[in-house]
Chain A
Amino acid sequence: MALLEIKQLNKRFGGLHAVNDVSFQVEPGQIKAVIGPNGAGKTTLFNMISGTFPPTSGSVTFQGRDLRGKKPYQVADLGMARTFQNIKMFNGMTALENVMVGRHVQSNAGFLSSMFRMPWTWKEERAIRDKSMELLALLGIEEHAHTDASSLAFGQQRAVELARALALEPTLLLLDEPAAGLNIYETAEVGRLITKIRDLGITVLLVEHDMSLVMDISDEIVVLCFGEKIAEDLPPAIQQNPEVIKIYLGEE
């Protein structure tokens, strides 16, 4: 069974048909990429999967569960984490604290038990801290753990955001243009990180328009154009696909 199944998804904003009848599946253990030129509806698609806004019609099924009407926090609770195109750090918090927020669904302390420091919260708090440090180390930014996250370099902020998403221990990780704003070295680094994440057993679905990154790391690629799916194939086949070439290079 597919981990994520998208069926005939549509989104209309007034007269604009942002996503038009898109269907595809993500198999467990894959890195799947959605590519397409600007305005192809990639981010809209993502926002519907993660519950930011509801689709006009169609369905999203995650681990056999229909996500209809689910809010983003409920989707996250089911094991789907995401990052944002323009990094959304929690300003005024350190890198470590940012990642610790990611442990939210994996911990329990509520208002009263936090206020009164119930003994059982001590252990939980320590576990949150240890796991978060571990993730920062995994992404190679542990030396910045106590730096204010918003003052980190752009590439480092991406890494913090990734660590934060991984802290959820997701089954599926949604990455919204992970290479946006990065130079080629940083892009290559992000590519390595994504592969590493896949090797941890986490399925990855990413939206990207940087072709080089996508071709290198993905197992399968979906191409969107003006809201419609025009191709879905393995990377080499996508590179040969005349329609895709037409979109990316323009007509003669």
Chain B
Amino acid sequence: MKKLLSVLPLLAVVIGVHLLTSATDTMYYLTQMTMSAYYSLLIIGLCVLMGYAGQISLGHAGFFAIGGYLSAALTTRSLVPYQDTALVNLLDSVGMILSGHDLYGEAMLVVSPWAACGIAVCTAALIAVIIGIPVLKLKGHYLAMATLGFGIIIYRVALALEYFGEADGISEVPPFPLLSGLTISGNFSDRIQNYYIAWGLLLIGMVLLLNLMDSRVGRALRGIHGSDEAAGAMGVNTSRFKLQTFVLSAVFAAIAGVCLTHYNGGIGPSEAGVMKSVRYVAIVAVGGMANLWGALLMGVVLNFLSLRGVFGSYDDAVFGLILILIMLFAPNGILSLNIRHRLKQLLRRGKQDREGEV
């Protein structure tokens, strides 16, 4: 209950931003706020993996892409050529197939968004399990390289397969009707609704993760981070917990991928790129690694600025620079700097020096 209360101020801010933009006639900001919320959903998941379970992943854009690409492909690629196969019939009989017509009036059979979302997220989770079992045995540089390698493979697959649109990616992805009246889509008229859907999902994700951290599982995870060996001696099955966290963060990434793809109406290979993965790591690092609120804040702020094009053609450079500066000067995140305290200390030291001279 306390955790629920702690996100209430955030809810107030979300509503406040909406009211502010509508009052100042700057509602176009809501589009980037919506996208930032989805990216932040991935980032808080990654924060649990990196900050609490202590496992770096340089391949999380891969899970985002698995979610986004699968959901996009399943809801846009017509199944008409396969309509007599057993699998399509089976899906049809449980109501997971939608029929319609494409732009040229040809008959189309596609998987329904809910089913596609389910398949995409489950696939991401499954791949996370398969890759996670061996990968999470590794530490340090090996873990970083292995996850980086995984990310590049996903990128290459997206780029190489015609099914995923090669370099063009997939466009014309249909809206995702969540409930009657609630639809994830990029339509101008649905902008406010989508802003609340995205932030609602992010808030739910945040509450779930805050709950998790303040529980038996969360303590075990933080214990693993503190001392792997001691956690083991306390009966914590460290490899299983790491794996479960890996899968959890992959699921968050995949959900973010699914939703953002439906919102944007498409996805391209750059979403799977190494730079994206590195950017997510950078944001978690800026937020302070083991700090969900920091990750959320930085996720929203930095993604928003980046999406607004504030960094111009230096977008990637900015994230690279942030990564270096944070790791050099504030490895515990920018929020740990506590600037006022530092200034006070400096002033006091200056004063002492002067007194010492007298």
Contact = CB atoms under 8 A, between A and B. Distances in A.
Contact between A and B in the complex (any CB pair below 8 Å): yes
Interface of A: 50, 52, 71-73, 76-77, 81-82, 84, 88-93, 97-98, 100-105, 107-111, 114-117, 121, 124-125, 128, 164-165, 168
Given A71-B237, A90-B227, A111-B248, 4 more contacts: A72-B232, A93-B223, A114-B216, A168-B235
Nearest to B227: A88
Contacts of A116: 208, 211
A104 B233 contact: no
A114 B189 CA distance: 38
19 contacts: A50-B233, A73-B237, A76-B235, A84-B230, A84-B233, A88-B230, A92-B222, A92-B290, A93-B226, A97-B219, A101-B220, A102-B234, A103-B216, A104-B234, A105-B234, A114-B211, A117-B211, A121-B215, A124-B216
Nearest to A122: B1
A32 B144 CA distance: 45
A146 to B, nearest CB: 14
Nearest to A78: B235
A105 B234 CA distance: 7
- What is the predominant secondary structure among interface residues of chain B facing chain A? helix
Nearest to A174: B233
A88 B229 CA distance: 8
B231 A101 contact: yes
Contacts of A100: 216, 219
A128 B234 contact: no
Given A111-B248, A125-B216, A90 B232 contact: no
B234 A101 contact: yes
Contacts of A102: 234
Contacts of A109: 215-217
Contact of A115 (B212, B222, B226, B229): B212
A176 to B, nearest CB: 10
Interface centre among B212, B235, B236, by most A CB within 10 Å? Answer: B235
Contacts of B236: 73, 101, 104
